[in-house]
A and B are shown apart, each in its own frame.
Chain A
Amino acid sequence: MAAAYEGVDFYDISAQLSEEERAVRDTVRAWVDDKLVPVINEAYIEGHFPKELIAGMAELGLFGANLPEEYGCAGLNNVAYGLIMQELERGDSGVRSFASVQGALVMYPIYAFGSDEQKKKWLPKLASGELIGCFGLTEPDYGSNPSGMITTAKETANGWVLNGAKMWITNGSTADIAIIWAKTGAIDDAKSIRGFIVPTKTKGFSSKDQKGKLSLRASDTSELVLQNVEVGKDALLSKTGGIKSPLMCLTQARYGIAWGALGAAMGCYAEALAYSKQRVMFKKPIGGYQLQQSRLAEMLTEITKGQLLVLHLGRLKDAGTMRPQQVSLAKRNNVNVACDVAREARRLLGANGILVEYSAMRHMANLESVYTYEGTHDMHTLILGEDVTGIAAFE
């Protein structure tokens, strides 16, 4: 079950991983080669998520893999979880996004903010892929400023009534349940933001896929509309309170993205390196020319720095000392690196680089979304700026 793709490991970082961490990485790497790579190009061109992968992903244990075994999850540490994201995104950012949403944005909030009954009811079915979830925070007019949201939840005798609209929701049209964030108090009261588990079949809930995407084409992105959606008292994630709760979820997802984007970069580099040795121009392989060697050296350097960054971040997370601002630095850096690597790889591939049979341009286009979602590159700049100066630039 050896994967044809060997990864990129210039500093022998593998030696810093435990045997289990390496085993997890190699399993997912081989699965990506066998199952994801053969179907991704068609799914990307056709513009849909390759749903046939869901059962295999669940069987491997890719959903919520760092959550405890008692809920049907694999109970991995955060480095192993990061390696899963790295390998998945080597395949495609859209498929990694699917796993990120299910694990970090749906299962994690139920795990962190839910009651025992909610955890027992939902987590095993989400881990097994029997149920798919989505995360409704962003709204048409509230992206980088989610505190401004205008979706509301009003308490009634029997539960809650939700009204509002959400946008850019990964898995929105596929999902069986949605984690919806809404204000339970006045519209300017960000402290009243709370999370709800809303079955998507509930009356008044509708979703519509967003068409015309030129990025993350192998991922379904939807608009959600909630019109007098009535849910019971048991829909409320009782431990949520304020914008901090959804931001905690985003920290989980961003952590995975910092690893994942690097996986895409590694895939692009490996493809470019192999191509540079084969493609002959002016009677020698293009890898023998200084311009391409410069490209490759630059890519390798940035990838290696990023690998050391996320590995250490993962160790901090496992030690329980990781701060969200440290995640911002890693997401910001590694996605930016990945964007650059993908673009340079595409250029090294010449005309072939625009074809779907090579992965560079697909990754390049995907990574523009990754650059923009889960806190834009710019917002993470400002988060870091605030952290070091103590002065917020965006409030």
Chain B
Amino acid sequence: MKIAVCIKRVPDTETRVKVGGDGVSIDEAGVKFILNPYDEFAVEEALQRREEGGEVVVVTVGPDAAAETIRTALAMGADRGVLLKTDKIPADALAIAKALAAELKDGGYDLILFGKIAVDDYNHSVGTMTAELLGMPCVSAAVKLTVDGRRLTAEREVEGGIEVMECEVPAVITCDKGLNNPRYPALKGIMAAKKKPIETKPAALGAVRLTLKTLGLPPERKEGRIVGEGVAAIPELLRLLRQEAKVL
């Protein structure tokens, strides 16, 4: 199987971000970047499905620094990388999907995997849009995947149940938590990744129709307050939860 995995370089989920001087980007000083955690499920799934003679190609849209993110996936075991270079990732998901589709359409891929979201912008969009542009069926947020010959079955968790979807490959799948347990990049893999090829070319971004106007941090949480002690405080607590916090 020839599998493409589309990944994204995102700020470490443990990082406390600050809004940059331009008001529409984060201040990258001192921020550690990682492989988007949902993309780890996609990389792992691809590695488990790569058969003898198969290939796992990692594709990303991003700045030069995204090569480091590609190398994380190569260290996990992917075969080669493609960096579609753009200094600034546009806020318009379709513009990115077009760049990916242009790269993937003649690649002869049997399966194209994405993480279901990127944890930096929470768009949920690029994977499904890319599928549409490629004219391929797409299952989003898959938690289980089986491929038997050309037939693909994927499970999704929906409110209160499981949805089972079926289609032919080639197909696009966006991966959810629970699909697998991503491996650690072993130290040998980290060394081997240095020798694996990464092709860099300009990203053929589509037209950008959406622009990010402002980026702001959530308001600081108010300090807690103690309404009283013991059983006697319960009526007042209930009143506040109902009338003030309106959570009951």
Contact = CB atoms under 8 A, between A and B. Distances in A.
Interface of A: 1-4, 6, 12, 19-20, 23-24, 27, 30-31, 59-62, 65, 69, 74-76, 80, 84
A23 B12 contact: no
A30 B184 contact: yes
Contacts of B68: 19
Given A2-B34, A19-B71, A23-B75, A74 B187 contact: yes
12 contacts: A1-B34, A2-B12, A2-B13, A3-B14, A6-B14, A12-B30, A23-B185, A27-B184, A27-B186, A60-B186, A62-B187, A74-B187
Contacts of A4: 14
Nearest to A56: B184
B182 A23 contact: no
B37 A27 contact: no
A38 B185 CA distance: 21
Interface in B187-217: 187-188, 190-191, 194
A61 B191 CA distance: 11
A4 B34 CA distance: 13
A27 B191 CA distance: 13
Contacts of B130: none
A102 to B, nearest CB: 14
B37 A61 contact: no
A1 B37 contact: yes
B72 interface: yes
Given A1-B40, A19-B68, A24 B187 contact: yes
Given A20-B194, A24-B187, 11 more contacts: A1-B182, A2-B34, A6-B14, A12-B30, A19-B68, A27-B186, A27-B190, A59-B186, A61-B187, A74-B191, A80-B187
Contacts of B71: 19, 23
Nearest to A18: B194
Given A24-B190, A74-B191, A1 B184 contact: yes
Interface in B156-195: 182, 184-188, 190-191, 194
B37 A23 contact: no
A80 B75 CA distance: 15
Contacts, number: 57
Contacts of B14: 2-4, 6
B34 A65 contact: no
Interface string B49-89: 00000000000000000001001100100000000000000
A56 B120 CA distance: 30
A31 B184 CA distance: 8
- Which interface residue of B30, B186, B190 has the most chain A CB atoms within 10 A? B190
A261 to B, nearest CB: 22
A367 to B, nearest CB: 26
B237 to A, nearest CB: 21
B126 to A, nearest CB: 21
Contact of A23 (B13, B40, B190): B190
Contacts of A62: 187
Contacts of B184: 1, 27, 30-31, 59-60
B180 to A, nearest CB: 13
B14 to A, nearest CB: 5
Nearest to A73: B188
Contact of B191 (A1, A59, A75): A75
A2 B194 contact: no
A76 B68 CA distance: 18
A74 B188 contact: yes
- Which interface residue of B35, B37, B182, B191 has the most chain A CB atoms within 10 A? B191
A30 B34 CA distance: 12
Contacts of A2: 12-14, 34, 37
A60 B187 contact: yes
B187 A27 contact: yes
B12 A61 contact: no
A388 to B, nearest CB: 37
A69 B72 contact: no
A62 B186 CA distance: 9
Contacts of B13: 2
Contacts of B186: 27, 59-61, 74
Nearest to B189: A61
Contacts of A27: 184-187, 190
Contacts of B72: 23
Contacts of B30: 12
Contacts of B40: 1
A31 B187 CA distance: 12
- Which interface residue of A6, A60, A65 has the most chain B CB atoms within 10 A? A60
B175 to A, nearest CB: 15
